[in-house]
Structure 1
């Protein structure tokens, strides 16, 4: 069996530990893989403002797939290589339909400038002080890289099911949170579809990619990659879809597997 030519890894719950850190061991293994000429690509649901926290660990190629595939970021040049945004018109129509079907839904919008939130959107993480709060129609004055939809009473799976039924698959809905927070991208935008574009540019086939993930937003990527690892503490749907199971993210599971695969 030939060695992988590219490593694609999710961050939270996969590469990053529960305390938000990347261990020294994981860092050393990633550097070792890069020295073999194998790019390590971070493929994350994080928006750019959070993804920057781990960009120091991206190799010399300096590329990351951000916001569930809505953005391909050139880390070295500090600029977007590809944006796959939702038009304001499509976003507003989606939000109207979802709110009508599931009252109590609140929305936020991510773009390159950061996050903007409806007054009723209860964020669980610190947000920049300058973040806008306004009605959705005012927030959607430009294309969005990602919509966030939150419900304070439903569980994540129920909210996802209702959202899919209400909006007819016009946009791509996924989730990676333990709470009822949906992440919405433009049609056909997933971690997998943007990773596939990147790999095509690099001349790497899907069969030559090894991928790691833990939550439903990783499912398209794990299904596309030639070799797929779910983390030991992954969501059950991810474990069922993956070829293999890696040790948990707090046990440096990604690094442990890569060290074995590449003989580091």
Structure 2
């Protein structure tokens, strides 16, 4: 059989990475077979370009352009291919809003994560990411660092209060992680930045047609990339809106990413 896709874009949490925070052996093996069939495999995640996410990306396909921070950062190996810095004024508003409501927000630079104070919720998040979080005055961070993403990490009942803030020139996307069921997340990036804009950029970089690109995800934050590709696939245990809208593959515990990669490579039995 001929392969169906030239590139596969893979979300990580709930798609490739399961509740135990690891990638199943079957997924690694399917990725090897897909690459051998000529399919490029690019991570497209809300995670930072560090720790577990960076390790997974490099192992899946070291020669692909990998997408982090919901599209704000694209790397190929150690080379930064694209970086979208957030405007200063909305960032100040986010930090002030977080402090006023006693909510936790993280600020991300290309490779680092900063918080006003490390709490149990962000410590657990850091453990899952495999990345050290730096405790630092966030207003000082804004004065001295290039911030590519602000990231709310809150209890589910607080997510609406966190994202109620109107932010000019910004995009806000929500996500969840099976490895962190006690939290919900919302990412703030520059307007026009999304997994969809990054998918277009990755396809252009590799010279592949988006109509022959597969994207695999599970949460509303994946909608922009699912909408721009010719072969969108959703995990069967993903968000109900996505499951109702797109073709599905088995859930993360049933290794749905394996099914997607085999279909992309034309290896379905």
Change (3 A) 1:39 1:58: same
Counterparts of 1:1-264 in structure 2 under 5 Å? 3-50=4-51, 51-75=53-77, 78-96=78-96, 98-99=97-98, 103-119=101-117, 122-123=121-122, 124-126=124-126, 131-141=133-143, 142-152=145-155, 154-156=157-159, 158-159=160-161, 163=163, 165-168=164-167, 170-177=169-176, 178=181, 179-241=183-245, 243-264=246-267
Secondary structure of the corresponding residue to residue 166 of structure 1? coil
Q: What CA deviation, in whole Å up to 9, does each residue of 1:177-198 have, x standing for no partner?
A: 2524321111111111011112
Q: Distance in 1 between matches of 2:237 and 2:28?
A: 21
Secondary structure of the corresponding residue to residue 23 of structure 2? coil
TM-score by length of 2: 0.83
Q: Distance in 2 between matches of 1:159 and 1:176?
A: 15
Q: Distance in 2 between matches of 1:6 and 1:159?
A: 38
Q: Distance in 2 between matches of 1:130 and 1:15?
A: 22
Deviation at 1:152, TM superposition (A): 4.3
Deviation at 1:4, TM superposition (A): 1.5
Moved more, 170-179 or 188-197: 170-179
Q: What CA deviation, in whole Å up to 9, does each residue of 1:184-224 have, x standing for no partner?
A: 11111111101111212322222111110011211111111
Q: Distance in 2 between matches of 1:198 and 1:213?
A: 17
- The alignment's C-alpha RMSD in Å is 2.6
Deviation at 1:95, TM superposition (A): 4.0
CA contact (8 A) 2:109 2:148 kept: yes
Q: Distance in 2 between matches of 1:16 and 1:153?
A: 21
Secondary structure of the corresponding residue to residue 139 of structure 1? helix
Runs of 5+ consecutive residues of structure 1 not aligned to the other structure: none
CA contact (8 A) 1:159 1:180 kept: no
Change (3 A) 1:225 1:236: same
TM-score by length of 1: 0.85
Secondary structure of the corresponding residue to residue 154 of structure 1? helix
Runs of 5+ consecutive residues of structure 2 not aligned to the other structure: none
Secondary structure of the corresponding residue to residue 232 of structure 2? strand
Identify the structure with bigger relative contact order (alpha carbons < 8 Å, sequence gap 6+).
2
